[in-house]
């Protein structure tokens, strides 16, 4: 048998598909890696070597393999026809209509992909679920693929991605674990081995974990639910801290030193954002309700409700502190993206904060090093009630308050004396990430309101 170059196809060139395939292409030079997407502008950006998403180290990673063994295209059908392994990482947003609206996953893109695979596959193929999907989606995929007219064999695996935005390249290079869910049949085990073979190019075998399909699907939801739960837990305590003399940073440190709890993901904040946490928990909630597990559903739902409470509490504090009115006042929003080092604004707390302040008739001025383009698009509905500034100094000029919602390093190192001089007085800083030097700001004349810590107010 001649050695044919194996083709790995990825459908969906977004935040997950693009970086993941760039890493696979670099680590596995003997495979041809093709990434397809229906969004021509996105594909063009990847092809030109300027990724359509901002992610530290990504451009360099793509450059290593681009047009060597890494290719991007809009021709989904042709890609499927050539593929030996197909990763599916199309988007699965929360349903906005019909049954399960606001909670269940909208699987229309995903099902469309399954049918495209069925129509165009020419040889036996392994289909790998990369997008986070509700438990038992693989089974639905299998049922669609079972009716293959071309007598093509399909094996479906679940291989959820755990990368976090902002650290995607590092996470892909050195993952805590790679999880592969597959069936315990001869062809299932062969498919699992084929996928292990790819990851084993750079991931130590002991970190590659295999489970059954449903455990893998559920583990992804569970990991995100646990992480989000930690943030909601610490945020709930930040409210107690603000009501008492306790300090949330001291509490985080004290509990994080318990090796059973651990120090990470205990930073109190204005709230968590991102495309995954809320969506995945709501998926979990929907699943629990579906199986009649109401108490379990309500337990996890509370993580999302607590997050919304925290975001709203942040805004209430702004309004209450600024003499119960922000109408007509300019407020600089430092940060649009949902965390530092990404331009992604999906579910960003900045959006909810902006919506609420605009409702209160404030003049909102948003600044962000990477997320401004996305923010402009998302907030366009407000017309001239919201402004955008690349330069944080310009954003704060003439403002009554700064609300910091994203922990960009560049916000820490600004010249706050210069900013203070150009602001209306009294000048307020609401630090939604506890990332600024509060004592120094207070000394400059600012009134400083952190999360879960004592406010520093000039009398």
The size of the interface with ligand UDX (CB under 6 A), counted in residues, is 19
Stretch that binds ligand UDX, among 66-74, 139-147, 159-167, 443-451 (CB under 6 A): 159-167
Residues of this chain, 57-96, that bind ligand ADP according to CB under 6 A: 76, 89-91
Asked if residue 80 has a cis previous peptide bond (ω within 30° of 0), the answer is: no
Joined tokens for residue 240: 């107690």
Write out the catalytic residue numbers: 276
Compute the least distance from the CB of residue 114 to ligand UDX, in Å: 22
Is residue 255 a contact point for ligand UDX (CB under 6 A)?
Answer: no
Residue 76 vs 363, nearer CB to ligand ADP? 76
State the binding partner of 231 from ligand UDX, ligand ADP, none, CB within 5 to 8 A by kind.
ligand UDX
| Nearest Cα to Cα of residue 22 among 62, 69, 52, 56 | 62
Q: Is 266 in the site for ligand UDX (CB under 6 A)?
A: yes
Is residue 202 near ligand UDX by the rule CB under 6 A? no
Residues 6+ apart with CB under 8 A from 428: 318, 321, 322, 400, 401, 402, 446, 447, 448, 449
Q: DSSP class of residue 215? A: H
CA Rg value for the chain: 24
DSSP code, position 268:
-
Q: Under the criterion CB under 6 A, does residue 265 sit at the interface with ligand UDX?
A: yes
Task: Measure the CA–CA gap between 89 and 208, rounded to whole angstroms.
Answer: 20
Binders in 94-113 for ligand ADP, by CB under 6 A:
109, 112-113
DSSP string, 192-204: HHHHHHHHTTTS-
- List 7, 8, 10, 12, residue binding ligand ADP (CB under 6 A): 12
Binding of residue 231 to ligand UDX (CB under 6 A): yes
Which residues partner with 35 through β-bridges?
Answer: 10, 72
Tokens of 447: 């009134």
Beta 401-404 vs 208-211: how paired, if at all? Answer: unpaired
Pairing of strands 330-334, 363-367: parallel
Choose among ligand UDX, ligand ADP, none what residue 161 binds, the Cβ cut-off being 5 to 8 Å by kind: ligand UDX
Point out which span in 108-116, 155-163, 311-319, 382-390 binds ligand UDX (CB under 6 A). 155-163
Question: And the tokens for 422?
Answer: 């150009």
Instruction: Mark 268-287 with x for binding to ligand ADP (rule: CB under 6 A) and - for no binding.
Output: -------x------------
Residue whose structure tokens are 């700064």: 402
Quick one: which of 106, 161, 217, 378 contacts ligand UDX (CB under 6 A)?
161
Q: Between 266 and 356, name the residue whose CB sits nearer to ligand UDX.
A: 266
Residue nearest to ligand UDX (CB): 274
276 touching ligand UDX, by CB under 6 A: yes
- As measured in angstroms, the least distance from the Cβ of 276 to ligand ADP is 8
Residue with tokens 């450059």: 63
| Residue number with CB closer to ligand ADP (38 or 239) | 38
**Residue 14 CB: number of other CB atoms within 10 A?**
20
Q: Residue 278 contacts by C-beta under 8 Å, 6 or more apart in sequence?
A: 94, 228, 272, 304, 307, 347
* 37 forms part of the interface with ligand ADP (CB under 6 A): yes
Nearer to ligand UDX, 231 or 419 (CB): 231
Structural contact between residues 357 and 315, judged by C-beta atoms closer than 8 angstroms: yes
CA separation, residue 258 to residues 73, 231, 237, 448 (Å): 49, 17, 17, 31
Pick from 182, 274, 343, 450 the residue near ligand UDX by CB under 6 A.
274
Contact between 431 and ligand UDX per CB under 6 A: no
**Minimum CB distance to ligand ADP smaller for 14 or for 188:** 14
**Cis peptide leading into residue 383 (ω within 30°):** no
Task: Give the pair of three-digit tokens for residue 66.
Answer: 């681009």
Q: How many CB atoms lie within 10 A of CB 2?
A: 3
Work out how close the CB of 94 gets to ligand UDX at its nearest, in angstroms, rounded to a whole number: 15
Q: From residue 334 to residue 373, what is the string marking binding to ligand UDX with x (rule CB under 6 A)?
A: ----xx----------------------------------
Residue 15 engages ligand ADP in binding (rule: CB under 6 A): yes
CB distance 199 to 178 below 8 Å: yes
Applying CB under 6 A, the residues found at the interface with ligand ADP are 11-17, 36-39, 42, 76, 89-91, 109, 112-113, 131, 275
Applying CB under 6 A, the residues found at the interface with ligand UDX are 161-165, 224, 227, 231, 265-267, 269, 272-274, 276-277, 338-339
């Amino acid at each position: 048998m001649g050695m044919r170059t194996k083709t790995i196809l990825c459908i969906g060139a977004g935040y997950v598909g693009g970086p993941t395939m760039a890493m696979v292409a670099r680590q596995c030079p003997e495979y041809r890696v093709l990434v397809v997407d229906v969004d021509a502008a996105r594909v063009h950006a990847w092809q030109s070597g300027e990724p359509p998403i901002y992610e530290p180290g990504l451009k360099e990673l793509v450059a290593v393999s681009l047009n060597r063994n890494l290719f991007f295209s809009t021709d989904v059908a042709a890609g499927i026809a050539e593929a030996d392994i197909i990763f599916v990482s199309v988007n699965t947003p929360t349903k906005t209509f019909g049954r399960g609206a606001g909670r269940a996953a909208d699987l229309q893109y995903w099902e469309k992909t399954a049918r495209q695979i069925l129509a165009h596959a020419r040889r036996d193929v392994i289909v790998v679920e990369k997008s986070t999907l509700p438990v038992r989606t693989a089974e639905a995929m299998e049922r669609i693929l079972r009716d293959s007219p071309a007598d093509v064999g399909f094996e479906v695996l679940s291989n959820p991605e755990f990368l976090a935005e902002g650290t995607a390249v590092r996470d892909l290079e050195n993952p805590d674990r790679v999880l592969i869910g597959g069936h315990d049949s001869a062809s299932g085990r062969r498919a699992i081995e084929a996928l292990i073979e790819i990851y084993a190019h750079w991931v130590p075998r002991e970190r590659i974990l295999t489970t059954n399909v449903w455990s893998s699907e559920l583990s992804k939801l569970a990991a995100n639910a646990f992480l989000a739960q930690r943030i909601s837990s610490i945020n709930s305590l930040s409210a107690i801290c603000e009501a008492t003399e306790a300090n949330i940073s001291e509490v985080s440190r004290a509990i994080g030193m318990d090796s059973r709890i651990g120090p990470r993901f205990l930073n109190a904040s204005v709230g968590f954002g991102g495309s995954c946490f809320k969506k995945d928990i709501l998926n979990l909630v929907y699943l629990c309700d579906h199986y009649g597990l109401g108490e379990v559903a309500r337990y996890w739902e509370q993580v999302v409700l607590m997050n919304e409470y925290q975001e709203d509490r942040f805004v209430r504090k702004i309004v209450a502190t600024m003499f119960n009115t922000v109408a007509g006042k300019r407020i600089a929003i430092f940060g649009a993206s949902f965390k530092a080092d990404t331009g992604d604004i999906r579910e960003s707390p900045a959006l909810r904060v902006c919506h609420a302040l605009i409702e209160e008739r404030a003049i909102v001025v948003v600044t962000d090093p990477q997320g401004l383009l996305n923010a402009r698009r998302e907030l366009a509905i407000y017309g001239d009630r919201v402004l955008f500034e690349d330069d944080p100094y310009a954003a704060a000029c003439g403002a009554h308050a700064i609300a910091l919602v994203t922990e960009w390093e560049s916000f820490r190192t600004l010249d706050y004396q210069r900013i203070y001089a150009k602001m209306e007085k009294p000048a307020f800083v609401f630090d939604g990430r506890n990332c600024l030097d509060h004592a120094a700001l207070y000394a400059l004349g600012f009134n400083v309101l952190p999360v879960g810590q004592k406010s520093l107010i000039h009398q």
